Amino acid sequence: MTNGRTMDALTRPAPAERLDAVSALRALIADRPYAPGDRLPPERELIVSLGISRATLRKALDALEREGAIWRHVGKGTFVAGHANGRPAGGLDMLSRSLTPVRMMRARLCIEPAIAREAAINASQAAIVGIRRAQDRARTALSWRAYEAQDDALHRAIAEATDNILLLSLFDQLNQVRRAVAWDAVIRVSDRPPAEHPSFAEHDRIAAAIEARDPAAAQDAMRRHIGSVSARLFGEV
Protein backbone atom coordinates (compact mmCIF):
# COMPACT_ATOMS: atom_id res chain seq x y z
CA MET A 1 0.00 0.00 0.00
CA THR A 2 1.30 3.48 -0.80
CA ASN A 3 1.65 5.55 2.36
CA GLY A 4 0.75 9.27 2.63
CA ARG A 5 4.29 10.50 2.20
CA THR A 6 4.88 8.42 -0.92
CA MET A 7 1.58 9.54 -2.42
CA ASP A 8 2.47 13.18 -1.70
CA ALA A 9 5.79 12.72 -3.46
CA LEU A 10 4.02 11.23 -6.47
CA THR A 11 1.52 14.10 -6.79
CA ARG A 12 3.74 17.07 -5.92
CA PRO A 13 5.23 18.67 -9.06
CA ALA A 14 9.01 18.49 -9.33
CA PRO A 15 10.79 21.88 -9.54
CA ALA A 16 11.77 21.37 -13.19
CA GLU A 17 8.22 20.40 -14.08
CA ARG A 18 6.88 23.57 -12.44
CA LEU A 19 9.37 25.73 -14.30
CA ASP A 20 8.40 24.13 -17.61
CA ALA A 21 4.73 24.77 -16.84
CA VAL A 22 5.42 28.42 -15.99
CA SER A 23 7.28 28.84 -19.28
CA ALA A 24 4.45 27.15 -21.17
CA LEU A 25 1.89 29.48 -19.59
CA ARG A 26 3.99 32.53 -20.40
CA ALA A 27 4.26 31.37 -24.00
CA LEU A 28 0.51 30.78 -24.19
CA ILE A 29 -0.20 34.31 -22.96
CA ALA A 30 2.34 35.83 -25.34
CA ASP A 31 1.36 33.81 -28.42
CA ARG A 32 -2.41 34.34 -28.42
CA PRO A 33 -1.83 37.27 -27.59
CA TYR A 34 -3.86 38.12 -24.53
CA ALA A 35 -4.44 41.71 -23.43
CA PRO A 36 -4.60 42.81 -19.79
CA GLY A 37 -8.04 41.89 -18.45
CA ASP A 38 -8.55 38.96 -20.83
CA ARG A 39 -9.60 35.69 -19.21
CA LEU A 40 -7.51 32.55 -19.67
CA PRO A 41 -9.17 29.24 -20.59
CA PRO A 42 -10.53 27.14 -17.69
CA GLU A 43 -8.10 24.91 -15.83
CA ARG A 44 -9.48 21.74 -17.44
CA GLU A 45 -8.65 23.14 -20.90
CA LEU A 46 -5.18 24.30 -19.86
CA ILE A 47 -4.40 20.87 -18.41
CA VAL A 48 -5.18 19.25 -21.77
CA SER A 49 -3.59 21.89 -24.03
CA LEU A 50 -0.36 22.09 -21.98
CA GLY A 51 -0.22 18.36 -21.17
CA ILE A 52 0.34 18.84 -17.44
CA SER A 53 -1.35 17.74 -14.22
CA ARG A 54 -3.77 19.88 -12.25
CA ALA A 55 -1.27 20.19 -9.39
CA THR A 56 1.47 21.37 -11.74
CA LEU A 57 -0.86 23.87 -13.41
CA ARG A 58 -1.91 25.37 -10.09
CA LYS A 59 1.69 25.74 -8.95
CA ALA A 60 2.50 27.51 -12.22
CA LEU A 61 -0.53 29.79 -11.86
CA ASP A 62 0.56 30.59 -8.31
CA ALA A 63 4.00 31.58 -9.61
CA LEU A 64 2.60 33.86 -12.31
CA GLU A 65 0.18 35.44 -9.84
CA ARG A 66 3.06 36.23 -7.46
CA GLU A 67 4.88 37.89 -10.37
CA GLY A 68 1.83 40.01 -11.14
CA ALA A 69 1.32 38.52 -14.60
CA ILE A 70 -2.15 37.16 -13.82
CA TRP A 71 -4.83 37.51 -11.19
CA ARG A 72 -7.54 35.09 -10.12
CA HIS A 73 -11.08 35.66 -8.94
CA VAL A 74 -12.84 32.77 -7.21
CA GLY A 75 -15.78 31.61 -9.31
CA LYS A 76 -14.92 33.86 -12.26
CA GLY A 77 -11.57 32.62 -13.58
CA THR A 78 -7.98 33.63 -14.22
CA PHE A 79 -7.21 36.92 -15.92
CA VAL A 80 -4.15 38.48 -17.56
CA ALA A 81 -2.82 41.42 -15.55
CA GLY A 82 0.16 42.36 -17.70
CA HIS A 83 3.17 40.86 -19.46
CA ALA A 84 4.17 37.41 -18.25
CA ASN A 85 7.49 38.71 -16.93
CA GLY A 86 5.63 40.58 -14.21
CA ARG A 87 6.48 44.06 -15.49
CA PRO A 88 3.66 46.54 -15.94
CA ALA A 89 2.15 46.49 -19.41
CA GLY A 90 1.97 49.36 -21.87
CA GLY A 91 0.79 52.57 -20.25
CA LEU A 92 1.34 51.15 -16.77
CA ASP A 93 5.03 50.80 -17.53
CA MET A 94 5.15 54.46 -18.58
CA LEU A 95 3.34 55.43 -15.37
CA SER A 96 5.82 53.51 -13.24
CA ARG A 97 8.68 55.42 -14.86
CA SER A 98 7.01 58.76 -14.17
CA LEU A 99 5.88 58.29 -10.57
CA THR A 100 7.89 58.89 -7.41
CA PRO A 101 7.33 56.45 -4.52
CA VAL A 102 5.52 59.16 -2.54
CA ARG A 103 3.09 59.94 -5.37
CA MET A 104 2.50 56.23 -5.79
CA MET A 105 1.64 55.94 -2.08
CA ARG A 106 -0.73 58.90 -2.37
CA ALA A 107 -2.51 57.08 -5.19
CA ARG A 108 -2.84 54.06 -2.89
CA LEU A 109 -4.34 56.35 -0.24
CA CYS A 110 -7.01 57.40 -2.73
CA ILE A 111 -7.97 53.88 -3.81
CA GLU A 112 -7.24 51.18 -1.24
CA PRO A 113 -9.23 52.61 1.70
CA ALA A 114 -12.30 52.66 -0.54
CA ILE A 115 -11.59 49.05 -1.52
CA ALA A 116 -11.40 48.08 2.17
CA ARG A 117 -14.74 49.80 2.72
CA GLU A 118 -16.35 47.77 -0.07
CA ALA A 119 -14.77 44.60 1.29
CA ALA A 120 -16.43 45.18 4.66
CA ILE A 121 -19.78 45.50 2.91
CA ASN A 122 -19.48 42.57 0.50
CA ALA A 123 -16.98 40.03 1.87
CA SER A 124 -18.14 36.42 1.98
CA GLN A 125 -17.04 34.16 4.81
CA ALA A 126 -14.64 32.43 2.40
CA ALA A 127 -13.13 35.81 1.50
CA ILE A 128 -12.60 36.62 5.17
CA VAL A 129 -10.88 33.27 5.67
CA GLY A 130 -8.60 34.13 2.73
CA ILE A 131 -7.74 37.51 4.28
CA ARG A 132 -6.91 35.90 7.62
CA ARG A 133 -4.82 33.21 5.94
CA ALA A 134 -2.72 35.77 4.05
CA GLN A 135 -2.39 37.82 7.24
CA ASP A 136 -1.05 34.80 9.16
CA ARG A 137 1.42 33.97 6.39
CA ALA A 138 2.71 37.54 6.33
CA ARG A 139 3.26 37.44 10.09
CA THR A 140 5.27 34.20 9.90
CA ALA A 141 7.35 35.11 6.82
CA LEU A 142 11.03 34.21 7.19
CA SER A 143 12.36 36.94 4.87
CA TRP A 144 11.37 40.37 3.60
CA ARG A 145 10.79 38.95 0.14
CA ALA A 146 8.43 36.32 1.54
CA TYR A 147 6.70 38.97 3.65
CA GLU A 148 6.21 41.25 0.66
CA ALA A 149 4.68 38.39 -1.34
CA GLN A 150 2.23 37.64 1.48
CA ASP A 151 1.54 41.35 2.02
CA ASP A 152 0.64 41.50 -1.69
CA ALA A 153 -1.61 38.47 -1.20
CA LEU A 154 -3.31 40.08 1.80
CA HIS A 155 -4.07 43.36 0.04
CA ARG A 156 -5.28 41.46 -3.01
CA ALA A 157 -7.49 39.24 -0.86
CA ILE A 158 -9.10 42.41 0.49
CA ALA A 159 -9.68 43.64 -3.08
CA GLU A 160 -11.13 40.27 -4.05
CA ALA A 161 -13.46 40.44 -1.04
CA THR A 162 -15.22 43.43 -2.64
CA ASP A 163 -16.77 40.98 -5.11
CA ASN A 164 -16.30 43.70 -7.72
CA ILE A 165 -14.20 42.68 -10.70
CA LEU A 166 -13.56 46.30 -11.73
CA LEU A 167 -12.18 47.21 -8.30
CA LEU A 168 -10.05 44.07 -8.35
CA SER A 169 -8.69 45.00 -11.78
CA LEU A 170 -7.92 48.53 -10.59
CA PHE A 171 -6.10 47.12 -7.58
CA ASP A 172 -4.03 44.78 -9.75
CA GLN A 173 -2.97 47.62 -12.03
CA LEU A 174 -2.10 49.83 -9.07
CA ASN A 175 -0.14 46.98 -7.50
CA GLN A 176 1.89 46.40 -10.66
CA VAL A 177 2.90 50.05 -10.68
CA ARG A 178 3.62 49.92 -6.93
CA ARG A 179 6.04 47.03 -7.40
CA ALA A 180 7.90 48.78 -10.19
CA VAL A 181 8.11 52.11 -8.36
CA ALA A 182 8.74 51.07 -4.79
CA TRP A 183 10.72 47.85 -4.63
CA ASP A 184 14.07 49.30 -5.67
CA ALA A 185 13.57 52.34 -3.43
CA VAL A 186 13.22 50.40 -0.16
CA ILE A 187 16.31 49.51 1.88
CA ARG A 188 15.90 46.86 4.58
CA VAL A 189 18.16 46.70 7.64
CA SER A 190 17.13 43.21 8.81
CA ASP A 191 16.66 39.81 7.19
CA ARG A 192 12.95 39.58 8.03
CA PRO A 193 10.19 41.69 9.59
CA PRO A 194 10.62 41.94 13.38
CA ALA A 195 7.92 40.58 15.66
CA GLU A 196 6.85 44.15 16.48
CA HIS A 197 6.62 45.20 12.81
CA PRO A 198 3.86 47.90 12.82
CA SER A 199 2.11 46.48 9.76
CA PHE A 200 1.09 43.36 11.70
CA ALA A 201 -1.12 45.33 14.11
CA GLU A 202 -2.36 47.52 11.24
CA HIS A 203 -3.34 44.43 9.25
CA ASP A 204 -5.14 43.10 12.35
CA ARG A 205 -7.27 46.25 12.53
CA ILE A 206 -8.15 46.13 8.83
CA ALA A 207 -9.11 42.45 8.92
CA ALA A 208 -11.09 42.86 12.14
CA ALA A 209 -13.08 45.76 10.69
CA ILE A 210 -13.89 43.80 7.53
CA GLU A 211 -14.90 40.77 9.56
CA ALA A 212 -17.10 42.99 11.76
CA ARG A 213 -18.78 44.38 8.62
CA ASP A 214 -17.79 47.92 9.63
CA PRO A 215 -17.14 49.87 6.39
CA ALA A 216 -16.07 53.13 8.07
CA ALA A 217 -13.61 51.37 10.37
CA ALA A 218 -12.17 49.30 7.51
CA GLN A 219 -11.69 52.41 5.37
CA ASP A 220 -10.03 54.29 8.24
CA ALA A 221 -7.80 51.35 9.18
CA MET A 222 -6.56 50.98 5.61
CA ARG A 223 -5.97 54.71 5.28
CA ARG A 224 -3.93 54.72 8.49
CA HIS A 225 -2.00 51.64 7.41
CA ILE A 226 -0.95 53.04 4.04
CA GLY A 227 -0.08 56.38 5.62
CA SER A 228 2.04 54.58 8.20
CA VAL A 229 3.85 52.52 5.55
CA SER A 230 4.56 55.63 3.49
CA ALA A 231 5.92 57.49 6.51
CA ARG A 232 8.15 54.56 7.53
CA LEU A 233 9.56 53.88 4.08
CA PHE A 234 9.70 57.30 2.48
CA GLY A 235 9.28 59.80 5.31
CA GLU A 236 6.10 61.29 3.82
CA VAL A 237 2.38 60.62 3.56
Q: Count how many Cα atoms sit within 13 Å of the Cα of residue 78 in the half-sphere of its side chain.
A: 20
The tens digit of pLDDT for each residue in 44-62 reads 999 998 888 999 998 888 8
- Closest by Cα among 50, 63, 51, 47 to 15: 63
The tens digit of pLDDT for each residue in 140-184 reads 998 888 888 889 889 999 999 999 999 998 998 888 888 777 655
DSSP state of 13: P
Predicted model pTM = 0.65
What are the chain's domains?
A: 4-80 (1.10.10.10), 91-234 (1.20.120.530)
Q: Residue 237 in contact with residue 224, Cβ under 8 Å?
A: no
Sorted by sequence, the CB contacts under 8 Å of residue 16 that are 6+ apart come out as: none
Residues 216 and 35: their CA atoms lie apart, in Å, by 35
Q: What is the mean predicted confidence (pLDDT) over 1-20?
A: 46
